[in-house]
Amino acid sequence: MKHHLHKSLITALTAIYLTLFCYGETPSETVTIPLIGDTAPSFKAISTRGTINFPEDYWDTWVILFSHPADFTPVCTTELMSFADLEYKFKELKCELIGLSEDGLNSHISWIKDIKEIKYKNKENANIDFPVIADFDMAVAKKFGMIQKNASNTKAVRAVFIIDRKHKIRTIFYYPESVGRNVQEILRTLIALQVNDQYTLSTPANWEPGDDVVIPTHQKKEDAISFFHSQNEDYYCPTWFFCLKKLPLEKVVKP
Q: Is 76 a catalytic residue?
A: yes
Helix ranges (H only) for the chain are: 2-17, 74-92, 105-115, 139-143, 183-199, 221-229
Rounded CA separation 213/206 (Å) = 11
In angstroms, how far apart are the furthest CA atoms of the chain? 90
Q: Which residues contact 187 (CB under 8 A, 6 or more apart)?
A: 86, 89, 90
Contact 128, 80 (CB under 8 A): yes
Beta pairing, strands 95-101 & 132-134: parallel
Rounded CA separation 15/158 (Å) = 38
- Catalytic residue, chosen from 22, 76, 95, 243, is 76
Question: Which residues are identified as catalytic?
Answer: 76
